[in-house]
Structure 1
Amino acid sequence: MLVARWERRPDRAVRTWAVRPNQPQPTSLEDFAAKFRLALHDEISPVTLTGITMDSRSVEPGDLYVAVPGARFHGASFSADAVARGAVAILTDASGVVDATVSGVPVVVTVESPRELIGDIAAWLYRTDSAAPQLFGMTGTNGKTSTAHFLDSILRQLGIPTGLSSSAERRIGAEVMPSTMTTPEAPELHALVARMREVGVKAAVVEVSAHALTRHRVDGLVFDVAGFTNFAQDHLDDYASMEEYFAAKLELFTPAHARKAVVSLDTPAGANVVALAGIPTTTITSLPEMSADWTVVVDEEQPSYTSFSLTHAEYGSLATRVPVIGRHMAANGGLAIAMLVEAGYSLTAIDAALHRDGGITASLPGRAVHVPVPNGPAVYVDSGHTAEAFAKTLGAVRGLTAGRVIMVAGANGDRDQSKRPEMGRQAALGSDVLIITDHQPRSEDPAVIREAVLAGARAAKPTGDIREVASPAEAIRVAVREATADDAILWAGLAEKNHREVAGQKIPFSVLDETRGALAEAGWL
């Protein structure tokens, strides 16, 4: 069941989505409390549970509402709202008991953090601990989304009914819904997987963020194969150090979360994952100087695709393509194929399906999207928002461009501030003309964000053509007016979004629409 509803918040109406299995298996509250050795706060009358949620706005009748401490409020403060929507019991910690008790429904208390239990509880309630599709989990700083979509596409090309949970979208078979975070909270993820099972999905791909691992969002799921793309600076607003951030990623490669893994050695962290993983690992690389079980070699690069060969000493080789630019995208395509082989799929069958279809046919929202311009500059929009992502995509664009590379870039607010100068540095080094603009300032002063990116850019290239244009709509127009037919334009950092978040307001905005509009105004379209 997919339910869309509008929730009224102080500044705007927000559309939320609830995905639930159509045929939940009712469970008594007493059995639940006994299973997880939890204390009932009071004597209770019989209560039947059919679902679970941490969000009072997403409660369905029969739900267990899990009230956890938040950054500003304790979830127990919203107990009355949850009960009004149909919650029949509340799970909370000692600090939430008083607020939860006044709701009038049974309260179950845990001495642990409720968040640490919720994945296992959701798995038990939705039976995803014993009956789930084949599961693939993807992590890494960059490339998670593209690899997840490549993997999903190949499975569908093999005729396998699939499900997908990525930062770009959620999908159950042919049913597509928007994604609001990289990995949903544990109750939503388990409900999603349970619904996939109901409609006959045989394999599901889940993008797994570091936050998902440290915040227990994937607890209760064991991935048949996990994948590691790479590791680079990001999220130091949430983690005290790169070591702590890496440790979060490493959690996926333990028996509690995965059975085996395929690890890319294209960044030094890959070797560390192999050395520290608690599960069997297979390796892959696209670097000629590295040795691995699987090797990726780029054969051809064109504005709309990258061809590559993938080889394994035992399984053999195949040649195929991904529908985007970049050697890093070929590496991600190779990783997806290797994960499928490690899961038991035949490389011969994969090769036949890809050959029939002319390569991996995935549609990648916001990932190096080519905007065709007949007889004009090559134009790409990309969602990459790290220094490494900038460098890789700029390198791919440079290799296809006879003239100059013109880049429009920005950094997001309320996120890791320490990475902004390095983003500016890589943007300046990889481009001939760099235009720094605003993207998602959120609650921050956009001028302060721009200045941090500009500082890194100007330090790297003191005499470079580096400009500041606050309005992103105007920034792309400046880039288009600057371009000749031999040039390329890359707009990085905002591609898949349909809005900009500025000072608490979500303002409708489309990078593709603005880009096409700018090209039309300049006479290129």
Structure 2
Amino acid sequence: MTDLVSHFDLDVTGERSALGGLVVTGITLSSKQVQPGDLYVGLAGVHAHGAQFAGDARAKGAVAIVTDARGQALAARSGLPVLVTPDPRASLGALSAWVYGTAEYPPTLFGVTGTNGKTSVSYILEAILRQLGILAGISTTAERRIGDLAMTSALTTPEATEVHGLLARMAEAKAEAVVIEVSAQALTRHRVDGIVFDVVGFTNLTHDHLDDYGTMQAYFEAKVPLFTPERARRGVVINDGEWGVRLARRAAIPVVTLSTYPGRPADWYAALLRETIDETRFILSGPDDQSLTTSIPVLGRHMAENAALAIVMLVESGIELSAIKNVLDRDGGIRVYIPGRAERIENSGPAVFIDYGHSPDAFTSTLDSLRRVTDGRIIMLFGADGDRDPSKREEMGQIAARLSDVVVITDFHPRTEDPAAIRRVLVDAARAAVPGREVHEVADPRTAFRTALGLATADDVILYAGPGHEDYHEVGGEHLPYSARDDARHALHEFGWL
């Protein structure tokens, strides 16, 4: 403990000599998750200060608390040694790296950022690494996984204490590579501090998270630090959009670019060859006449783009394209399962897809792809997050009406907002965008899916956008059990199609 105090120049309440025999074996922000030997970090929160729970942390076996000046007073009677630093959140990554020794752990680290596609790229990276015979850990919105050990995710990118703890567990499992999905919030809230990625990738930047950042420019600026030497060694940027072009110019590390647009200046190009409801085939070409033709078992041009980004990131990490080509040729393509991302629920009736997309751009990408492979109608079922960026709701309703044939609007995580008010914005936007478009408003998601199913024929497609892999429905601050994937299977069985 004295080494830690000296290394971070922490102020100590009481005698430093009392720290001599203390050994720190872990670090956590949650007093409920403290394990014996942990260093507890008490942060100021919206409703409470973590230092208020120092006594609970001590009872569970915490050996000390790190906090700020305000927390110092709150933790004074806890019986724990109190270590004080002006901004404990800003120190969290470095503290966690020191406690877990992650700077000494040498896996190849991949980081993926962007508005849409982060989870898909992360899963594709892990899948190809596995096909190459490389054990990889993964941390995404959907799950954290080391080999066959999987854990449910709560945040797109976990807090720094959890990230470094995961890296330590991955070291124990002898993982040779780690893939981490990196949100803008992870960068601005210090969740990936203390980590230097070997290769980082950028998918896109589209309308989302303006409740956090206010403007697209501010949202973009939150992403830029990932492409600096303090965060990463090399980068790959999809420059199909203006934000990608800007990022490639702003990057302070070596960057290669990838495009799906012929004629756009880029180092690598990906071109769609064939698109079916179950598979997307593409060709990737790059410097020195390198090329690779393969497929991914997921619908959509955007999925080919995601796969191409993953492959170029692997090449930038030092893996030869020829080695990737050999294993993909051997296996008949990329063998990947991406939970809740255009995930098809097999049945004998209409094609049913459960998707996590909940932004205008995500709606557009998936609906455009479905239109190209669908003979019948597209029935779209969706809602909008409560307590999240309301500025995108109207555009979501407009896109759904323009790009599908039937719209069913339901509740999706209303949280503390009035769900009827959220639905009204979506319904009004859909009807105004395409007068006469068939629009249904059904509050309960279970009933809403059955409404969509009752409208469908065997030639139609149902896209249920929003819930993806999630297994809850958040209403009034309460998480109610609900899995769209499971409910879809139950409903299809009820209708005799499964």
Provide TM-score, normalisation by structure 1.
0.92
Higher helix share: 2
> Residue 466 and residue 307 in structure 1: after superposition, are their counterparts in 2 closer, same or farther (change >3 A)?
same
For the pair 1:41 / 2:25, whether they are aligned, the reply is: no
**Residue segments in structure 1 that go unaligned for 5+ positions in a row:** 1-28
Give the deviation of 1:205 after TM superposition: 0.1
For the pair 1:474 / 2:443, whether they are aligned, the reply is: no
Distance in 1 (alpha carbons) for counterparts of 2:193 and 2:211: 23
Give the deviation of 1:237 after TM superposition: 1.4
Q: Which amino acid aligns with 2:323?
A: A
1:133/1:193 contact within 8 Å kept: no
Q: Which amino acid aligns with 1:182?
A: T
Q: Give the aligned partner of residue 414 of structure 1.
A: 387
Q: Give the aligned partner of residue 255 of structure 2.
A: 281
2:54/2:80 contact within 8 Å kept: no
For the pair 1:95 / 2:70, whether they are aligned, the reply is: yes
Q: Which amino acid aligns with 1:514?
A: D
Q: Give the aligned partner of residue 75 of structure 1.
A: 50
Percent identity, aligned pairs only?
A: 52
Q: Give the aligned partner of residue 3 of structure 1.
A: none
Aligned equivalent of 1:339, options 313, 336, 354: 313
> Residue 81 and residue 132 in structure 1: after superposition, are their counterparts in 2 closer, same or farther (change >3 A)?
farther
Give the deviation of 1:289 after TM superposition: 4.4
Q: Give the aligned partner of residue 496 of structure 1.
A: 469
Distance in 1 (alpha carbons) for counterparts of 2:91 and 2:27: 12
Distance in 2 (alpha carbons) for counterparts of 1:515 and 1:202: 37
Where 2:313 maps in the other structure, the secondary structure is helix
Distance in 2 (alpha carbons) for counterparts of 1:455 and 1:269: 31
Aligned equivalent of 1:485, options 452, 458, 465: 458
Q: Which amino acid aligns with 1:372?
A: E
For the pair 1:256 / 2:230, whether they are aligned, the reply is: yes
**Residue segments in structure 2 that go unaligned for 5+ positions in a row:** none
1:303/1:370 contact within 8 Å kept: no
Q: Which amino acid aligns with 1:40?
A: V
Aligned equivalent of 1:54, options 29, 33, 37: 29
Give the deviation of 1:328 after TM superposition: 0.4
1:165/1:207 contact within 8 Å kept: yes
Map 1:363-442 onto structure 2 (within 5 A).
363-374=337-348, 376-442=349-415
Deviation per residue, 1:224-255 (Å, 9 max, x gap):
00000000111111112211111111121111
Q: Give the aligned partner of residue 216 of structure 1.
A: 190
Q: Give the aligned partner of residue 161 of structure 2.
A: 187
Give the deviation of 1:516 after TM superposition: 2.3
Q: Give the aligned partner of residue 24 of structure 1.
A: none
Q: Give the aligned partner of residue 103 of structure 2.
A: 129
For the pair 1:318 / 2:292, whether they are aligned, the reply is: yes
1:122/1:186 contact within 8 Å kept: yes
Provide TM-score, normalisation by structure 2.
0.97
Distance in 2 (alpha carbons) for counterparts of 1:291 and 1:377: 41
Distance in 1 (alpha carbons) for counterparts of 2:199 and 2:260: 20
Where 1:224 maps in the other structure, the secondary structure is strand
Give the deviation of 1:138 after TM superposition: 0.3
For the pair 1:142 / 2:116, whether they are aligned, the reply is: yes
Aligned equivalent of 2:435, options 449, 459, 462: 462
> Residue 281 and residue 108 in structure 1: after superposition, are their counterparts in 2 closer, same or farther (change >3 A)?
same
For the pair 1:166 / 2:121, whether they are aligned, the reply is: no
Q: Which amino acid aligns with 1:512?
A: R
Q: Which amino acid aligns with 1:150?
A: I
Q: Which amino acid aligns with 1:435?
A: V
Q: Give the aligned partner of residue 300 of structure 1.
A: 274
Give the deviation of 1:285 after TM superposition: 1.0
Give the deviation of 1:480 after TM superposition: 1.2
2:239/2:248 contact within 8 Å kept: no
2:345/2:352 contact within 8 Å kept: yes
Give the deviation of 1:315 after TM superposition: 5.8
Distance in 2 (alpha carbons) for counterparts of 1:446 and 1:361: 39
Q: Which amino acid aligns with 2:369?
A: A
For the pair 1:30 / 2:2, whether they are aligned, the reply is: yes
Q: Give the aligned partner of residue 508 of structure 1.
A: 481
Distance in 1 (alpha carbons) for counterparts of 2:28 and 2:481: 29
Deviation per residue, 1:403-452 (Å, 9 max, x gap):
21110011111211111111111111110100110121112111111112
Distance in 2 (alpha carbons) for counterparts of 1:435 and 1:289: 39
Where 1:495 maps in the other structure, the secondary structure is coil
> Residue 315 and residue 199 in structure 1: after superposition, are their counterparts in 2 closer, same or farther (change >3 A)?
farther
| Cα RMSD after superposing both structures | 1.2
Deviates more, 1:54-63 or 1:514-523: 514-523
Matched pairs, number? 495
Aligned equivalent of 1:230, options 194, 198, 204: 204
Which aligned segments of 4 or more residues in structure 1 are displaced greater than 6 angstroms? none
Deviation per residue, 1:477-519 (Å, 9 max, x gap):
1111111222111110012111111122222112122222332
Give the deviation of 1:53 after TM superposition: 1.0
